[in-house]
A and B are shown apart, each in its own frame.
Chain A
Amino acid sequence: SAVISQKPSRDICQRGTSLTIQCQVDSQVTMMFWYRQQPGQSLTLIATANQGSEATYESGFVIDKFPISRPNLTFSTLTVSNMSPEDSSIYLCSVGGGRGSYEQYFGPGTRLTVT
């Protein structure tokens, strides 16, 4: 499975500011995914990021709030814009398991606290 790293691992941000989270994979992957995990909750898919195309957002998530970049096959960023305390969550990126393997492998997550 791919090795996935995320930066930062955690951050405390002020209301109204933005934070960009980076996700780096040690091998080329077609699809990358961004999830949010609110405190004590399950994971919710924010968007799917394919290299060379616009990200596909799930219902309830919009590009203005969570812009995503996917400049190459090993890297993606998620920005959380104009943050409010409700955005306090763990944000995780994941990648598919490869051809014929549909499980996803996750990065360590970014723990965001908005004050």
Chain B
Amino acid sequence: AQKVTQAQTEISVVEKEDVTLDCVYETRDTTYYLFWYKQPPSGELVFLIRRNSFDEQNEISGRYSWNFQKSTSSFNFTITASQVVDSAVYFCALSGNYGQNFVFGPGTRLSVLP
């Protein structure tokens, strides 16, 4: 069975600090996909990134960066120079090939204080 673990339940940082959200996954699939979603206080789920199991290249998008390491089954998310608007619950998710067996991690609540 597929499983996603986000060990950090809550993180609190001061604005402009860097913060890394951890994600560890378990799967027996050889082809799978990893995702990050943001859920701000308003409640909507915002898709941030998808990563394929066969592409371990790290990705940077503005202040966001993602580090995918198959050797440790991790897909960590770093926010550089955090802002108050980054305050949200962040979910890591995993699916098998063709998007089946989509499973979410428990989420990490990030609070960025001014």
Contacts from B to A (Cβ < 8 Å): 33, 35, 43-45, 47, 50, 91, 95, 98-99, 102-107
CA distance A102 to B45 in the complex (A): 16
9 contacts between A and B (CB under 8 A): A42-B106, A45-B103, A96-B99, A102-B99, A103-B33, A106-B45, A106-B47, A108-B43, A109-B43
Q: Which residues of A contact B (CB under 8 A)?
A: 1, 31, 33, 41-45, 90, 92, 94, 96-97, 101-106, 108-109, 111
A94 to B93, CA, bound (A): 14
Give B95 Cβ to nearest chain A Cβ, in Å: 5
**Which of A33, A105, A111 touches B47 (beta carbons < 8 Å)?**
A105
Q: In the complex the two chains form, is A42's CB within 8 Å of B44's CB?
A: no
- In contact, A1 and B107 (Cβ under 8 angstroms): no
Q: Is the interface of A mostly helix, strand, loop or mixed?
A: strand
What's the count of A-B pairs with C-beta under 8 Å? 45
User: How far apart sit A33 and B99, CA to CA, in the bound complex (Å)?
Assistant: 12
Q: Are B91 and A102 in contact (CB under 8 A)?
A: no
Residues of B within 8 A of A102 (CB): 33, 50, 95, 98-99
Asked if residues A109 and B44 are in contact (CB atoms below 8 Å), the reply is yes
Q: Lowest 10 A-B CB distances belong to which pairs?
A: A102-B99, A106-B45, A43-B104, A103-B50, A42-B104, A42-B106, A102-B33, A103-B47, A42-B107, A108-B44
